[in-house]
C-alpha cells in the first residue's frame, strides 16, 4: 500500500490526471462535434438504399404494364393485378417525406420499414397464387432470409419503442459511445496512453529515483505491482471519463442517453447480429482494457532493458504497430466454395481469426462478431500473457547484465586519448560537430532510428509480397464467380427444358442466360489474366468490373471517383506499368477520392492496396500516413532542443564558461538536429530504394499520379468534375459562382510527385525541430517538450483542416498532410487555384525562419552573452 500511495502521489504532482481529463474531454467533444456537423448524413445510407429499391420498383411497374397490355388484358384487369404492387410502391414512396428531416423522423422510420416489408410479402403471396409464382420485382434478388432478418430488426425497434439510429452519426448516448469506441479505441489511443504511462516505469531511471529504491526495505515485485495498479487507474480514468463526457454531451446537446438494448446491426445490411449495443460496449471495453494491460506489461519489460523514456516509448509504439500487422486482414475461406470444383491455379491460404494473438484484442469488433468463444477464455489468455511478461520483468530486473545494458563505449585511457587529440587537426564549427556527435552516439536516437529503418524496409517488402498474394486471391475470386455463373447457366437451361412455360417466361430466362454467359466469360477471362500476369487484360477486367458492379456500393457509388479511376486505368495501360490491386477495389476507389460519399467506410473496412514498383511504395509511405508516424518517432527521439541539457545532464549553465559565443551555441544545436534528421531520412529512403531494387521491384517512375485542377479553362479536354459533389461541401452552402466552377484532372509521373512529398516532409520536420527548440527554452523536461510539440501540431492540423480551412494555408500545420497538397486535393477543397507544393515550401521556409529567429532571441535573453 505505501508504494501505491507513493506512485499515486507522484502522478498527482506531475498533473497527469489533469492531462487525462483534458484529453478525454477533447476526444469526446471532437467525436460529438463530428457527428453533429454531419447530421445531414444521418440515415443517408438507409435512404439511398430505399431510393435504389424505389427505382427498381418503377422499372418493374413499366415491365408489368407492357407485358399485361401485350397479353390483351383490359385496363380494369391491369389495375386489379396492380393493386398490391401499387400498395408496396406507395409504402416505399412515403420515405421521401422523411428524406430532408431524417433525424427528426427517426421514430417513424422503423414503422414505415415494417409497412413496406408487409406490403412486399402480400404482393409476393398474391403472385404465388394468381401468377404461378411469377413476379417481376424481387427484393434483394429474392433473398427471403435477408428479408426476414431485416424485418426482425425493425420489428424489435418498434416493439421496444426505439428509433432508427444511424450507425455512424448518431447523437444518442449509447450509439454515440459505440461510434466513439469504434473510432477512437485503437492504436491512436494506445500511442497516446504510451506517452502518458511510460515515464511511470522509466522515470525513476532517468531522474535517479531508482538508486533511492535500493536503500528502501521494499520488494521489487511490490514496486512493480504499485506501478501497474497506478497505470491501470489512469487508463480506467481516461476511458471512463471519456465515456462520461460522451454521455453528458448526448444528454445536454444530443438525443439523450439512448438505449443499451438497441440491437446491433451488420454494417452492410439492416440485420441484427445477435448482440445489443450494451453487450457490445461491455465486451469491447473489456477486451480493449485487456489489450492495454498487455501493452503496460510490455512497457514494464522494456524499462528493465532501456533506461531512457524515449527509447521505451518508441519501442512500445513499434511493438504495437508491428503486432497489429500480424492480425489477419482477410478471412475469406475459398476452399469451402470451391471444394470439389475445378480451379484455375491453386487455392490461397486461409487466414483465420487467431484469438491467441494478443494484438487481435485491439480489434475487439472481430472478437465480438467473428469469434464464438467465451469471454472468460479470452480474459484468461490476456491475463496469462500479462502475468508472464510481468514475471519476466521481475526476473530481468535482478539480472546484472540487463541492469547495466548500455550501448555506450568504454572509457578510454586519458593519456592515450590526449595524444590522439593533439595530433588531430582543428576543424571549424566545433560546437556543431560536438552536437552532431552527441545525436548519433545517443541511444535514444540510434535505437528508434534503427527501428524506423527496419519498419520501412519491412513495409516495402511486405507491399511486394502482398502484390503476389493478392494476384492469387483475385484469380481465385474470379474463378469462384465463374463457377457461380456456370451453376446459374445450368439451372436456367434446366428450366428451359420445360415445354409448358409461357412465352414471356421463356424470353426472360433467355435474357438471364445471355447475361450469365457474358459474366461467366468475363470472369474466366479475368482469372486467366491474373494467372498469366497479362497487364492489358488485368486493366481491362478492372475497368469492366468497376463499371458493371459499382452498384454494389451501399449508399450510391461516387461516379466522379469512378470516372477519375477509369482515366487512371487508361493511363496505366498506356504507360505500360503494373496496375494497382486491392481486395476491395470498389471500396478503395470510393474512400480514396475527394468525391467519396462513404467516408466512414475507411474506418469500417480493411483492404489492401498494393502495387510493386519502388515509386509507388515510396509514394504510399506518404499516402498511408506513415510519414506522420516517422515525424512522431523523430519528435520523441531527438526533437528536444536544449531540454536535454537541463533534463538529464543539467549542463546548461556550463555554456557560459565555454569560449564559444552565443550564436555558435544556439545555431550549432539546432542545425546539428537538422542535419541529423535529413541524413536519417536520406538513409531510410535510400535504403528502401536499394533493398527493393535488390528484391527485384521495378522503379516505374512514370506511374501515373493524379493531379486535381481546381479550375479548368476552355482548352481543357479531359473529364470534368462537379464541385457540388465534393465531400467537403456536404452540409455547406457554396455561392452560385463557386458552385458552377468545374474542376479537372491531369496526370504526371509519380516520381515528380514523390520529390514534392519528400521536400514538404523534410521542411515540415525542420519546422517542428525549430518549434521544439524554441519550446525547450521554456520547458526543461525533454519528453514533455516532445509531447507538447506533437499535441500543438496535431491540434493545429485539425483546426486548419476542418475549421479554419482556406484561411490556414499561411500556417505551418496543413502541410503536415503532404499528399493533400501534392495531389491538388487541397486546392479543390479550399477552392484556391494557387495552393500547391511550391506555396507550401515557401510557407514552411518562412515559419522555419521565424521559429529559429524567435528561439535565438529567447536563448539570448536567458543564456546569451557576447
Q: Are 708 and 824 in contact (CB under 8 A)?
A: yes
How many CA atoms within 13 Å lie on the side-chain side of 25? 6
Question: Measured between alpha carbons, how far is 620 from 808 in angstroms, rounded to an integer?
Answer: 26
Task: Identify the pLDDT of residue 760.
Answer: 92
Q: What integer pLDDT is reported at residue 599 of this predicted model?
A: 41
* CA dist., res. 35 & res. 175, Å (int): 11
Q: Quote the pLDDT of residue 850.
A: 93
Those residues with Cβ within 8 angstroms of residue 69's Cβ, 6 or more apart along the chain or in another chain: 78
Contact yes or no for 364/239 (Cβ under 8 A): no
Q: What is the dihedral of CA 617, 619, 625, 629, to 10 degrees?
A: 70
Q: Quick one: pLDDT at residue 603?
A: 41
Q: Tell me, what's the pLDDT at 339?
A: 47
Contact of 29 with 249, CB cutoff 8 Å: yes
Sheet with strand 721-722: strands edge to edge:
704-709, 742-749, 721-722
Q: How many CA within 13 A on the CB side of residue 555?
A: 22
pTM, full prediction: 0.65
DSSP codes, 217-259: S--HHHHHHHHHHHHHHHHHHHHHHHHHHHHHHHHHHSS-S--
pLDDT at 755: 92
Using alpha carbons, select from 390, 381, 383, 234 the residue that is nearest to residue 300. Answer: 390
Alpha-carbon distance values, 458 to 647, 691, 695, 758 (Å): 35, 10, 12, 20
Question: What is the distance between the alpha carbons of residues 245 and 260, in angstroms, rounded to a whole number?
Answer: 17
- pLDDT computed for residue 328 by the predictor: 65
Q: Which residues contact 682 (CB under 8 A, 6 or more apart)?
A: none
Given CA atoms 537, 538, 539, 545 in this order, what sign does their dihedral have?
A: positive
Please give the grid coordinates belonging to residue 739. 458552385
* Model confidence pLDDT, tens digit, residues 705-730: 888 888 887 778 778 887 777 777 66
Residue linked to cell 506513415: 626
Which whole-number Å values give the CA distances from 631 to 446, 519, 641, 670, in the listed order?
15, 48, 15, 17
Q: Are 117 and 150 in contact (CB under 8 A)?
A: yes
- In 3D, which of 746, 745, 753 has the Cα closest to residue 701? 753
Q: 186, 362 in Cβ contact below 8 A?
A: yes
Backbone angles phi, psi at 232, to 5 degrees: -65, -35
Phi, psi dihedrals of residue 614, rounded to the nearest 5°: -60, -40
Helix (H, G, I), strand (E, B) or coil at 343: coil
**Rounded Cα–Cα distance for residues 458 and 174 (Å):** 40
Contacts of 621 (CB under 8 A, 6+ apart): 456, 459, 627
SS (H, E, C) 51-118: HHHHHHHHHHHHHHHHHHHHCCCCHHHHHHHHHHHHHHHHHHHHHHHHHHHCCCCCCHHHHHHHHHHH
Q: What's the full length of the chain, in residues?
A: 866
- What pLDDT shows up at residue 600? 41
Residue 482 C-alpha cell reads as 465463374
Segments of the chain scoring below 50 in pLDDT: 215, 331-341, 401, 403-413, 418, 421-422, 426-427, 552-556, 598-605, 657, 866
Amino acid at each position: 500500500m505505501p508504494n501505491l500511495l507513493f506512485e499515486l502521489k507522484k502522478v498527482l504532482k506531475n498533473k497527469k490526471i489533469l492531462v487525462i481529463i483534458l484529453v478525454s474531454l477533447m476526444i469526446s467533444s471532437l467525436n460529438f462535434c463530428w457527428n453533429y456537423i454531419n447530421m445531414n448524413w444521418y440515415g443517408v445510407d438507409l435512404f439511398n438504399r430505399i431510393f435504389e429499391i424505389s427505382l427498381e420498383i418503377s422499372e418493374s411497374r413499366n415491365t408489368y404494364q407492357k407485358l399485361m397490355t401485350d397479353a390483351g388484358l383490359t385496363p380494369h384487369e391491369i389495375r386489379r393485378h396492380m393493386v398490391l404492387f401499387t400498395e408496396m410502391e406507395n409504402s416505399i414512396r412515403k420515405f421521401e417525406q422523411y428524406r430532408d428531416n431524417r433525424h427528426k423522423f427517426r421514430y417513424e422510420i422503423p414503422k414505415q420499414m415494417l409497412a413496406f416489408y408487409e406490403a412486399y410479402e402480400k404482393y409476393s403471396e398474391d403472385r404465388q397464387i394468381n401468377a404461378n409464382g411469377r413476379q417481376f420485382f424481387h427484393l434483394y434478388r429474392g433473398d427471403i432470409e435477408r428479408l426476414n432478418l431485416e424485418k426482425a430488426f425493425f420489428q424489435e425497434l418498434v416493439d421496444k419503442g426505439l428509433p432508427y439510429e444511424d450507425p455512424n452519426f448518431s447523437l444518442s448516448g449509447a450509439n454515440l459511445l459505440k461510434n466513439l469506441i469504434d473510432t477512437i479505441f485503437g492504436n491512436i489511443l494506445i500511442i497516446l496512453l504510451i506517452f502518458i504511462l511510460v515515464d511511470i516505469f522509466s522515470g525513476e531511471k532517468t531522474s535517479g529515483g531508482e538508486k533511492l529504491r535500493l536503500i528502501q526495505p521494499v520488494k521489487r515485485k511490490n514496486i512493480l505491482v504499485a506501478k501497474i495498479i497506478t497505470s491501470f487507474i489512469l487508463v480506467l480514468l481516461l476511458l471512463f471519463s471519456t465515456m462520461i463526457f460522451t454521455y453528458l454531451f448526448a444528454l445536454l446537446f444530443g438525443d439523450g442517453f439512448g438505449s443499451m438494448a438497441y440491437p446491433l446491426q451488420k454494417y452492410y445490411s439492416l440485420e441484427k447480429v445477435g448482440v445489443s449495443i450494451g453487450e457490445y460496449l461491455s465486451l469491447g471495453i473489456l477486451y480493449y482494457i485487456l489489450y492495454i494491460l498487455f501493452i503496460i506489461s510490455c512497457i514494464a519489460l522494456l524499462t528493465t532493458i532501456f533506461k531512457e523514456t524515449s527509447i521505451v516509448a518508441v519501442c512500445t509504439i513499434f511493438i504495437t504497430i508491428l503486432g497489429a500487422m500480424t492480425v489477419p486482414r482477410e478471412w475469406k475461406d475459398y476452399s469451402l466454395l470451391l471444394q470439389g470444383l475445378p480451379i484455375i491455379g491453386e487455392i490461397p491460404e486461409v487466414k483465420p481469426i487467431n484469438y491467441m494473438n494478443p494484438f487481435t484484442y485491439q480489434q475487439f469488433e472481430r472478437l465480438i462478431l467473428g469469434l464464438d468463444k467465451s469471454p472468460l477464455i479470452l480474459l484468461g489468455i490476456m491475463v496469462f500473457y500479462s502475468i508472464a511478461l510481468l514475471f519476466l520483468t521481475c526476473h530481468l530486473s535482478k539480472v546484472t547484465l540487463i541492469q547495466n545494458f548500455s550501448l555506450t563505449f568504454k572509457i578510454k585511457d586519458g593519456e592515450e586519448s590526449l595524444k590522439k587529440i593533439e595530433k588531430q587537426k582543428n576543424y571549424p564549427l566545433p560546437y556543431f560537430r560536438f552536437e552532431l556527435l552527441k545525436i548519433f552516439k545517443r541511444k535514444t536516437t540510434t535505437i528508434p532510428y534503427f527501428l524506423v529503418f527496419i519498419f520501412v524496409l519491412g513495409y516495402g517488402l511486405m507491399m511486394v509480397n502482398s502484390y503476389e498474394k493478392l494476384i492469387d486471391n483475385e484469380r481465385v475470386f474470379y474463378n469462384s464467380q465463374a463457377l457461380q455463373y456456370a451453376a446459374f447457366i445450368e439451372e436456367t437451361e434446366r428450366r428451359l427444358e420445360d415445354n409448358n412455360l409461357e412465352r414471356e417466361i421463356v424470353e426472360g430466362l433467355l435474357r438471364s442466360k445471355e447475361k450469365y454467359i457474358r459474366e461467366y466469360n468475363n470472369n474466366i477471362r479475368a482469372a486467366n489474366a491474373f494467372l498469366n500476369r497479362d497487364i492489358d487484360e488485368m486493366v481491362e477486367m478492372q475497368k469492366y468490373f468497376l463499371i458493371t458492379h459499382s452498384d454494389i456500393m451501399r449508399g450510391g457509388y461516387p461516379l466522379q471517383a469512378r470516372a477519375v479511376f477509369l482515366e487512371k486505368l487508361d493511363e496505366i495501360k498506356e504507360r505500360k506499368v503494373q496496375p494497382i490491386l486491392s481486395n476491395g477495389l470498389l471500396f478503395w476507389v470510393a474512400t480514396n477520392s475527394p468525391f467519396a460519399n462513404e467516408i466512414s467506410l475507411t474506418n469500417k473496412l480493411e483492404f489492401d492496396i498494393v502495387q510493386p514498383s519502388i515509386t509507388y511504395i515510396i509514394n504510399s509511405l506518404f499516402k498511408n500516413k506513415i510519414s506522420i508516424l516517422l515525424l512522431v518517432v523523430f519528435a520523441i527521439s531527438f526533437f528536444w532542443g536544449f531540454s536535454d541539457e537541463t533534463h538529464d545532464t543539467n549542463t546548461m549553465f556550463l555554456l557560459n564558461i565555454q569560449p564559444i559565443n552565443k550564436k555558435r551555441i544556439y545555431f550549432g544545436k539546432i542545425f546539428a538536429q537538422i542535419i541529423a534528421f535529413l541524413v536519417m531520412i536520406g538513409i531510410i529512403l535510400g535504403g528502401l530504394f536499394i533493398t527493393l531494387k535488390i528484391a527485384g521491384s521495378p522503379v516505374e517512375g512514370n506511374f501515373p499520379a493524379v493531379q486535381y485542377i481546381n479550375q479548368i479553362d476552355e482548352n481543357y479536354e479531359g473529364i470534368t468534375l462537379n464541385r457540388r459533389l465534393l465531400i467537403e461541401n456536404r452540409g455547406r452552402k457554396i455561392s452560385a459562382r463557386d458552385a458552377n466552377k468545374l474542376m479537372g484532372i491531369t496526370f504526371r509521373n509519380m516520381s515528380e510527385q514523390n520529390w514534392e512529398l519528400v521536400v514538404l516532409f523534410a521542411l515540415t520536420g525542420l519546422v517542428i525541430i525549430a518549434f521544439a527548440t524554441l519550446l525547450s527554452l521554456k520547458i526543461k523536461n525533454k519528453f514533455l517538450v516532445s509531447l507538447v510539440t506533437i499535441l500543438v501540431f496535431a491540434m493545429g492540423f485539425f483546426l486548419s483542416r476542418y475549421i479554419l480551412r482556406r484561411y490556414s494555408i499561411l500556417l505551418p500545420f496543413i502541410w503536415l498532410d503532404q499528399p493533400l497538397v501534392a495531389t491538388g486535393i487541397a486546392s479543390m477543397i479550399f477552392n484556391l487555384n494557387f495552393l500547391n507544393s511550391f506555396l507550401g515550401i515557401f510557407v514552411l521556409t518562412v515559419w522555419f525562419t521565424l521559429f529559429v529567429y524567435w528561439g535565438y532571441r529567447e536563448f539570448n535573453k536567458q543564456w546569451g552573452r557576447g
